[in-house]
Amino acid sequence: MSTHSYRVQAELNLQQMLDQFALIQQLNPTIKASNYEEMILEMYPLPYRMLGVFDGEHCIAVCGYWVLTKLYCGKYLELDNVVVDEKYRSKGIGKIMSEHMNQIAIKENCRVMVLDAYIPNQKAHEFYEREGYEKKGYHFVKKVIYP
């Protein structure tokens, strides 16, 4: 890991979230700026938060997260849209975020942390397994069919 010092901000404000479109687009290349803004504005009043990692004033990584409760696991922290700027990958940034997310989960009294990773993203699978996550099942998605 690099000896470079990065700053972690556990909760970005709304404008900082909106400013991360280009970074989020690295993970979701088909997303449009207008859709991103619309979705963030819809999610923000809910318990959606976003952690950011900064190199100086430049945000180089983000991890959205929710703290909710489900019957199968109790209170949990769900990671959402975890992305490190491609220029900063393999420099320990993911590990920094993982450690901070674990501390947030402890602070929030969560029992588990969960996330979805796209099937083809094998590098992410390997990283999450090194961080102690277990593959537990499949996440099924069905588009709603309107009449």
Return the CATH fold of 7-116. Answer: Aminopeptidase (3.40.630)
Distances in whole angstroms, Cα of residue 30 to Cα of each of 26, 84, 101: 9, 17, 27
What is the Cα 4 distance to its own chain's centre?
22
Percent of the chain with pLDDT over 90: 82
* pLDDT of 101 over the 60 cut: yes
Coil/strand/helix, residue 11? coil
The structure tokens 């470079």 sit at 4
The mean pLDDT of the chain is 92
* pLDDT of 102 over the 80 cut: yes
- The predicted structure's pLDDT at residue 1: 45
Structure tokens at 135: 């593959």
